[in-house]
Amino acid sequence: MDVLTGRTALVTGGGRGIGRGIAERLARDGARVAVHYGSNEAAAKETVTAIEATGGSAFAIGVELGRPGDAKALWEAFDRQADGLDILVNNAGIGTSRPLDEIDEAEYDRVFAVNVKAPHFIVKHGLDRLRDGGRVINISSGLARTAAMPDKMAYAMTKGALDVFTRDLSKVLGPRGITVNSVAPGIIDTDNTAELLHGTEDGWAQASAISALGRVGVPADVADVVAFLASDDGRWITGSWVDTTGGSLT
């Protein structure tokens, strides 16, 4: 389609699952994609190879998020291979948390550090790299607006915080023509949901029944929405929470 030709994108956590789907879709639309990874270098390089095999352009950068100085380190790695950014997708995150009666302070702090603090400071330190007219897309969760899985309370709280960040950041960056939106998936078939979907005999059927469309989502279902928001067609949408749960909240 080439609607993103000449633009550069950064997808955090872009080596696996939803992040990989987003990275591959943005590359297919013509963007040069920085595929970030925290620890799984092999997966990120596999994503880069897959993008290049179909004629796209990509490179991998590895920085573990949730540690002091993570955002600055990420941008230093990015700057070695690119000279500006048009599309930032804050996708990397810890995808679960233990229930209230089991979670300890270390896990609580870790999930907030990766899911909330890291995106906040990635944006803060990336503002001089993000070009006017650009896009910031934060990957939230349907759990930010439903108590369907209260055993994942801390995780859901991080996504609620990310949504507030999206709302307020849209006002901060609006004068530069930069849109900021949250995209909120439901249950998506990735390695992160393997236990939920495949851990019991009826896990897949139960997950499918949650969606109004009667199936489990796949990364492309989310990636296509992100691609729309990243394109010129999404120019008049900002500060929004986009439900990509397949009707799980209806």
Instruction: Give ∠ CA 163-166-167 in degrees, rounded to 5.
Output: 90
Q: Of the listed 37, 97, 140, 231, which one is catalytic? A: 140
**Sheet strand arrangement including 85-90:** 57-62, 32-37, 8-11, 85-90, 130-139, 179-185, 241-244
Residue carrying the six token digits 């929405």: 225
Residues recorded for the chain:
250
Q: Of the listed 37, 117, 152, 155, which one is catalytic? A: 155
Q: Of the listed 159, 170, 182, 211, which one is catalytic? A: 159
Q: Tell me whether residue 211 is one of the annotated catalytic residues.
A: no
Q: Tell me whether residue 141 is one of the annotated catalytic residues.
A: yes
- Closest Cα to residue 136, out of 161, 94, 114, 169? 169
Helices first, then strands: H and E counts in the chain: 9, 7
Q: Tell me whether residue 159 is one of the annotated catalytic residues.
A: yes
Q: Tell me whether residue 45 is one of the annotated catalytic residues.
A: no
Q: Of the listed 141, 211, 231, 248, which one is catalytic? A: 141
Q: Residue 181's beta-bridge partner residues?
A: 137
Catalytic residues: 140-141, 155, 159
